[in-house]
Amino acid sequence: VVARSGAEALDRTDPLSAFRDRYVFPDDTIALDGNSLGRLPRDTLTRLERVVERQWAGGLVRSWDDWLDLPRRVGDLIGGALLGAEPGEVIVADSTTVNLHKLAAAALRAGGRDRPVVVTDRGNFPTDRYVLEALGPVRWVDEPGIGALGDDVGLVAFSHVDYRTGAVADLAGITAAAHAAGARVLWDLSHSVGVVPVDLAAHEVDLAVGATYKYLCGGPGSPALAYVRRDLIEVLRSPIPGWFGHRDPFLMGPAYEPADDIRRFLAGTPTVLALACVEEGARVLADAGLEKVREKVMGLTSFAVALADAWLVPLGFTVASPRAARRRGAHVALVHPRAEVVCRALVDVGVVTDFRHPDTLRLGLAPLSTRYVDVWDALDRVRTIGRGLS
């Protein structure tokens, strides 16, 4: 199909190839798990040193002057460069799980007693299913999409990109249909932020959450994004009335009064070190520009699918991701009954991927740190392992 020199040629004409230098590569491991934990950006190292030595050790508690605004500042960076949100509509705090709970609970409460039902799909990420199920009756569908919605539905919640197959859901169509039926919509952007354009404002999305440790490279356990459309901010109240969501946290007042802006969805003290990492990680993507990033994502995943068709399908693998590049996020899913064995064997030959029970091997192609030759080399090694299995 394509010789390795073909992959090298694609790398030479890649307009984003220089961005690879902005990440740390301690060895020649091929990391195809950007969908799980993004690589460490170089700027993060210097930023952490500065925050720890200058701000924490030197400035001590005085550094809160700079730190207090981090959840909003980092939210604005991500919202503006990657989500099509307005300033003041995104904050970064807590985990995706906690943000999902906060926003879904707030939306259901505002929707009133007559609309207690949540619509989501059986294939949604476990934390999403568990959190939503705890909030009220769930109407399960097989995949993101809605038919006739009853007038008892208050919230429709799906993942924008499926964590197993990488399929992109019809965000615009589903959002419009939910609105037409009088329901609000919450999107989990964990697998799309930074690799698929979202344009929340254009589609009038109500709410969104998403992880920052994947393609945004915020580091393990970095805080998640929460988006609330501007006109909804004052309508919704967080179910966690923490002091950082108070109108004036340092008034230490007797009663909770929510802030009149996006900060009302904060709960407790921001995780400063992790927020600094998210800011650096997101900035690399913002500098590259989402349009070019998206082109590279489609180029990399198309290349992976072409090689998989040529080399791996004859060995019993199936490509479980959509065939059309624009219908895919940045990971490609290969299904094989012995995927777990393949995933482990790949580690021994320097390729990190991930396995999802029971039979899926995911290749997450982080666009700024992955070269076409990395895809070629990794799939060549999958081919060698696959031949040994059959």
Ligand X SMILES: Cc1ncc(COP(=O)(O)O)c(C=O)c1O
Residues found near ligand X in the complex (CB under 6 A): 95-97, 125, 127-128, 159, 163, 188, 190-191, 211, 224
Q: What DSSP state is assigned to residue 66?
A: H
Taking the complex as a whole, the smallest distance from the CB of residue 163 to ligand X amounts, in Å, to 4
- 87 close to 76: Cβ distance less than 8 angstroms: yes
Catalytic choice (184, 214, 264, 294)? 214
Taking the complex as a whole, the smallest distance from the CB of residue 243 to ligand X amounts, in Å, to 22
- Asked about 362 being catalytic, the answer comes back as yes
- Which C-beta is closer to ligand X: that of 119 or that of 312? 119
In the chain, the amino acid numbered 160 is H
Report residue 134 as tokens: 């705890």
Helix, strand or coil, per DSSP, at residue 207: strand
Q: Concatenate the DSSP letters of all residues of 75-109 into one string.
A: HHHHIIIII-PPTTSEEEES-HHHHHHHHHHHHHH
Q: In this structure, how many other beta carbons lie within 10 angstroms of the beta carbon of residue 23? A: 21
Phi, psi of 354 (to 5 degrees): -140, 160
Reduced to 3 DSSP states, what percent helix, strand and coil does the chain have, rounded to the nearest 5? 45, 15, 40
Catalytic choice (23, 125, 158, 303)? 125
| Separation CA 206–CA 229 (nearest Å) | 5
Taking the complex as a whole, the smallest distance from the CB of residue 346 to ligand X amounts, in Å, to 20
Nearest to 360 by CA among 209, 163, 187: 163
- Which C-beta is closer to ligand X: that of 76 or that of 188? 188
Helix, strand or coil, per DSSP, at residue 382: helix
- Which C-beta is closer to ligand X: that of 339 or that of 345? 339
- Asked about 188 being catalytic, the answer comes back as yes
Catalytic choice (188, 206, 374, 377)? 188
- Which C-beta is closer to ligand X: that of 354 or that of 380? 354
Taking the complex as a whole, the smallest distance from the CB of residue 53 to ligand X amounts, in Å, to 29
- Asked about 214 being catalytic, the answer comes back as yes
- Which C-beta is closer to ligand X: that of 129 or that of 247? 129
- Asked about 125 being catalytic, the answer comes back as yes
Catalytic choice (362, 371, 381, 383)? 362
| Separation CA 49–CA 313 (nearest Å) | 47
Catalytically active residues, by annotation: 125, 188, 213-214, 362
